[in-house]
Amino acid sequence: MNREGSEAAFAAAKRVIPGGVNSTVRAFKAVGGTPVFIRKAKGAYLTDVDGNRYLDYVLSWGPMIAGHAHPDVVDALRGAAERGTSYGTPTEYETELAELIVAAVPSVEKVRFCSSGTEATANAVRLARGFTGRDKFVKFEGCYHGSADPFLIAAGSSALTMGVPNSKGVPAGTARDTIIVPFNDAAAVRAAFERNPGEIAAVIVEPYVGNMGLVLPVPGFLHALRALTRDNGALLIFDEVMTGFRVAYGGVQAREGVLPDLTTLGKVIGGGLPVGAFGGSAEIMDRLTPDGDVFQAGTLSGNPIAMAAGLATLRLLSDATYVHLERLAMRLIDGMAEVFARRGVPHSTVAAGSMAGFFFADGPVTDLAGAKRADTALYGRFFHAMLDRGVYFAPSQFETAFLSLAHTQAEIDRTVAAADDALSEVLACR
């Protein structure tokens, strides 16, 4: 495919934008080459500045569950924009979307909107600290909770060592309050509580991890987190920014029957516009200002355009939606697994709701150490071979594929056939 337009666009972007991108993964550093610059999108497809068309499994990293430019969402956006794009005052949109979320997400009685997933998780941790009067919190290796300082911490010399910053600009004092443990290791969480009695405010977790590739909890893990936090006076925070309204209408907690104290949301609830939210019981949420003593604010929080897009999107979804999407996801993953097995490539595949993932590594993958066994060089070559065949997967082995209501069985089957052809080419060139 000719991508001269993307190459020129990237060169221009690098002159005025650090690295040429406004979110690091877009730069294609993990797979090599030049990022594709998109001009428009419709349904399940992206079209780049050179006119090349791609079947999209990134879907803006999750929000576009209805597909791109769904007529109902576009109509809602148009109507909202005609009434004004921002007021700095409360609107009925916010209450309507909050009512849908409270009705859908089992643990949420009240919800506060913000403008990004990073804001949601940072505010949730602040609220947990304010509610418990404690400073430390536990996070898991490989779980991503946005780019706020407390979350940019890597494990130290052991799983229970206080974290050290893995980004310049993160103060050492911030790192000291973050405890890192391996995902799916309840014993490590128990040990963290034993070593820090009465000091841990919360445990935050992606209940289905989507940011080291798709990694699911082993049986009993989420229940163990619920018991450990309750027994030790800490709060359990489910980061469902990605999984909320993605794997089930009520998120992972609805699928798994484990209710956290706080839940963070984003992506789907904004229908593709910048949005975040966090919610929980009235007792906890009422600690927020203006009525409580934990400060939170945001100039564009509850923006009417984002609220309108979120309302239109959620109204397209039902329990039947997720049955349909999970069938598509399983069809994709089962087909890819057959291709990988036939070609003799070590692999691990998984799907949940409208999310799907595969690693070029022997499975199952249950934590970051397992994910890091993946053959990232092979993934990079496979990614570009699929791109040349008009299929757009995430430009990193450690991300997740998403399905939308616009994807069809025929397109899934075409993707599997393209994967067979692409892998054949890649392996022949080794």
Under-70 pLDDT residues of the chain: 154-167
Do residues 179 and 96 both lie within one domain? yes
Asked if residue 219 and residue 279 are part of one domain, the reply reads yes
308 shares its domain with 333: no
> Is residue 44 located within the same domain as residue 87?
no
pLDDT at site 176: 82
Q: How many domains does the chain have?
A: 2
Which of 256, 285, 314 is where one domain is finished? 314
Catalytic, 267? Answer: yes
**Same domain, yes or no, for 104 and 43?**
no
Task: Give the model confidence (pLDDT) of 188-224 as tens digits.
Answer: 999 999 999 999 999 999 999 999 999 999 999 999 9
Do 331 and 214 fall into the same domain? no
79 and 63 belong to one structural domain: no
Tell me the per-residue pLDDT of 128-171, one tens digit each, with 9 for 90 and over: 999 999 999 999 998 999 888 778 775 332 333 344 556 677 77
Q: Write the CATH number for 84.
A: 3.40.640.10
Same domain, yes or no: 326 and 231: no
Give the residue from 314, 340, 356 where a domain finishes.
314
Q: What is the pLDDT of residue 166?
A: 62
Are residues 395 and 277 part of one domain? Answer: no
| Segments of 9-49 assigned E as strands | 38-42, 45-48
Q: Which of 54, 93, 144, 379 is catalytic?
A: 144
In this prediction, residue 357 carries a pLDDT of 96
Per-residue pLDDT at 130: 98
pLDDT value at residue 154: 56
Q: Are residues 358 and 377 in the same domain?
A: yes
pTM for this model (two decimals): 0.95
End residue of a domain, out of 264, 299, 314: 314
Active-site residue, from 56, 239, 261, 367: 239
| Residues 346 and 327 reside in one and the same domain | yes
> Does the annotation count 239 as an active-site position?
yes
| Domain boundaries, position 41 | 4-69+318-428
Domain CATH number, residue 387:
3.90.1150.10
Residues 277 and 341 in one domain: no
Question: Using CA atoms, how far apart are residues 130 and 51, in angstroms rounded to an integer?
Answer: 52
